[in-house]
Structure 1
Amino acid sequence: MFNSTTESKSTTYAFIFGTVIAVGFPLNAVALWILLRRHSLRSPSAVFMINLAVSDLLLAISLPGRVYFYATGTWPLGNFACNFVTMLFRNNIRSSSIFITFISVDRLLAVVYPLRSRHVRTASNAGKAAGVVWLIVLLINIPESMTLLADLTAFNNSVCFEFRDLRITITPVNYFQPVLILTLLAVNIVSTLMVSLTLRRRVSVSAKVENKVSVMLIFAMNLAMFTIFFLPISLVILFKHFRKAITPLLCLASINCCLDPLLYYFSFDGFWKKKEEGEHSVFQTYK
């Protein structure tokens, strides 16, 4: 399928996706094991991070197909398999962005409204919210899958992930992801500003937070995730003239799953310790 002018690019794409698998899968598998075994489902942060790790693992599982496609230039599994793998990738961007925002909002409530938010910040509520997220993400897949299958079938060629070659049909559902990412980015920006101002102005609250650098680093990482990994790929699909950048931006977006484990580490001072031993994490005071 690939000619000589695109072969080098395809090799690069295969290498990037392969590297993401090699790094992201074991990191998130270990992180998930630690979160489940040593932090359990006892806090909203742990619940959201467990779901985030699951989302990243699903992304890593979807990437071998992309590696094979760009390494060989062929896709032997048909349009339905291509559709399924594509939805896994898209679901990672959406679910990850939502869970990262939940983590930011949870940190916001813990710092700015520590007493009033206690009845809201529970593992039970976090579990219900996570369930709703997965349900919404799966429901969005239904019209998207139908549209993508129609495009793949109409092209009458197994192009699979080379979406720049497709006559992509833009439907109202295509605006869901850009609107979602922009909205969540705004929420993260507001959360970052509110926490930063609270830590600077309220001496009593600032004194209770053991490591303010780690607190703000979490928010900085969340903003970086959105602006670098989620936003570009979410917007480019809407602009016909920039569709040649889709594959490079997909490669960039996939890297997010390799960096999420850093979020787990900085969110829990005692990440490597058992729950009872690491009770004094950055925000445990507000539980």
Structure 2
Amino acid sequence: MMVSNNSTDCSVDDNFKYTLYGCMFSMVFVLGLIANCVALYIFGCTLKVRNETTTYMINLAISDLLFVFTLPFRIFYFVARNWPFGDILCKISVTLFYTNMYGSILFLTCISVDRFLAIVYPFQSKTIRTKKNAKIVCLGVWLTVIAGSVPASFFRSTNAVYKSNNTETCFENFSSDTWKTYLSKIVIFIEIVGFFIPLILNVFCSTVVLKTLKRPITLSRSKVNKKKVLKMIVVHLMIFCFCFIPYNVNLVLYSLMRTQSFSNCSVKAAVRTMYPITLCIAVTNCCFDPIIYYFTSETIQNSIKKRNRPSRKDSRYSDTFVTENFIQHNLQTLKSKIFDNESTI
């Protein structure tokens, strides 16, 4: 709530964020912990064959769990409005938050690009789409997100607040100078590398894949497999756009506000009110990522649906990329008849 009409001296009552954060982060902790532990169990114990896509998914699940494990500290902070755990743990918590968010964005982008190569260039990309190259890409993603997140630990992340009693804040109430000197530069890097470039890649890859699926030669393929690919694309884009676009757009505006690039009180009120809401939406990606695993992997679907009725064919011939069967359907007619129930990713 705006309490001053002076463009150079206005404030917003955003204390509702602590209740919102506490409730939302508690829900994300429970759901995210269960969903990602189940996903890792399936990846580690159920899938007999792993390819480059499952490599990206495993790293995505690990990224989600690392963030989930820090949530109890954040939840305590939001409820008590005090951070008694020290500056180092505050830095670790914040670093893992941004590592998870932008790691998730980049791993989802890897899955999108991998699907693009498999459908649009199924034969030319065979030498590129390997498990070894996928591991190298994952290593590059981890190094990139850590390089963008760790700089937040270069300065003190906790600040003392003196009211009726001494309390500590964690990654809050930074001065305009801190924003101008450090935080704005971090925001610029993570927004360009961690959001805008991946967003362009995701939209481009999905658009080209959709156009490829509409070609006459493609329309003659299996309609069932085509529906699976379309479902993968729709679910992928919906989760990507819902979780990440609102927060990252608002983060740019929030950074401009904190560096005093604009001083309109109405705009400040809107940005500061939307910031905690969009951040809560962003952290739900920990819960939504397993949905991508489910829709992308028929093997995971079979593991859930047929847990007590294992199929010999499914356990022996699992985890082949669905789009490869889709593109090469007419060239592998005999194989398709023999392994009609083959589990795919």
**TM-score where L is the length of structure 2:** 0.73
Alignment of 1:181-260 (within 5 A): 181-204=195-218, 207=221, 210-235=224-249, 236=251, 237-240=254-257, 241=268, 242-260=271-289
Q: Is residue 159 of structure 1 aligned with residue 166 of structure 2?
A: no
1:68 & 1:281 partners in 2: Cα distance?
Answer: 43
2:159 & 2:25 partners in 1: Cα distance?
Answer: 26
- Aligned to 1:86, which of 91, 94, 99? 94
Q: Is residue 20 of structure 1 aligned with residue 60 of structure 2?
A: no
Q: What is the CA deviation profile of residues 135-192 of structure 1, one whole-angstrom value per residue up to 9, with x for unaligned ones?
A: 2222223323214x2x64598962115x3x3225144232112112011111111111
Residue identity (%)? 31
Alignment of 1:1-287 (within 5 A): 9-39=17-47, 42-147=50-155, 149=156, 152-153=158-159, 158-161=168-171, 163=172, 165-167=173-175, 168-169=178-179, 170-180=183-193, 181-204=195-218, 207=221, 210-235=224-249, 236=251, 237-240=254-257, 241=268, 242-271=271-300, 272-273=302-303, 276-279=316-319, 282-285=322-325
- CA 29–275 in structure 1, closer or farther in 2 if over 3 Å, else same: same
Contact 2:235-2:295 within 8 A present in 1 as well: no
What secondary structure sits across from 1:246 in the alignment?
A: helix
Return structure 1 stretches of 4+ with deviation > 3 angstroms.
Answer: 5-9, 151-157, 272-275, 277-281
Relative to total residues, which structure has the larger helix share, 1 or 2? Answer: 1
Q: In the TM superposition, what is the alpha-carbon distance from 1:6 to its structure 2 partner?
A: 6.2
Contact 1:192-1:216 within 8 A present in 2 as well: no
- Which AA in structure 2 matches 1:99? F
1:280 & 1:258 partners in 2: Cα distance?
Answer: 25
Match of 2:306 in 1: none
1:79 & 1:264 partners in 2: Cα distance?
Answer: 36
2:91 & 2:223 partners in 1: Cα distance?
Answer: 46
Contact 1:112-1:195 within 8 A present in 2 as well: yes
Q: What is the CA deviation profile of residues 198-218 of structure 1, one whole-angstrom value per residue up to 9, with x for unaligned ones?
A: 111142476157422331222
2:28 & 2:221 partners in 1: Cα distance?
Answer: 39
- CA 42–270 in structure 1, closer or farther in 2 if over 3 Å, else same: closer
What secondary structure sits across from 1:158 in the alignment?
A: strand
Q: In the TM superposition, what is the alpha-carbon distance from 1:130 to its structure 2 partner?
A: 0.4
Q: In the TM superposition, what is the alpha-carbon distance from 1:66 to its structure 2 partner?
A: 1.4
2:20 & 2:149 partners in 1: Cα distance?
Answer: 29
Contact 1:35-1:46 within 8 A present in 2 as well: yes
Q: In the TM superposition, what is the alpha-carbon distance from 1:246 to its structure 2 partner?
A: 2.8
Contact 2:47-2:318 within 8 A present in 1 as well: no
**TM-score where L is the length of structure 1:** 0.87
1:195 & 1:55 partners in 2: Cα distance?
Answer: 27
For structure 1, which runs of at least 5 residues remain unmatched after alignment? Answer: none
- CA 116–128 in structure 1, closer or farther in 2 if over 3 Å, else same: same
Q: In the TM superposition, what is the alpha-carbon distance from 1:283 to its structure 2 partner?
A: 2.7
Q: What is the CA deviation profile of residues 240-274 of structure 1, one whole-angstrom value per residue up to 9, with x for unaligned ones?
A: 13244332222111101101111111111122446
Q: Which has the larger radius of gyration?
A: 2
- CA 243–145 in structure 1, closer or farther in 2 if over 3 Å, else same: farther
- Which AA in structure 1 matches 2:282? A
1:211 & 1:86 partners in 2: Cα distance?
Answer: 41
Q: In the TM superposition, what is the alpha-carbon distance from 1:114 to its structure 2 partner?
A: 0.6
- CA 143–258 in structure 1, closer or farther in 2 if over 3 Å, else same: same
Q: In the TM superposition, what is the alpha-carbon distance from 1:40 to its structure 2 partner?
A: 5.7
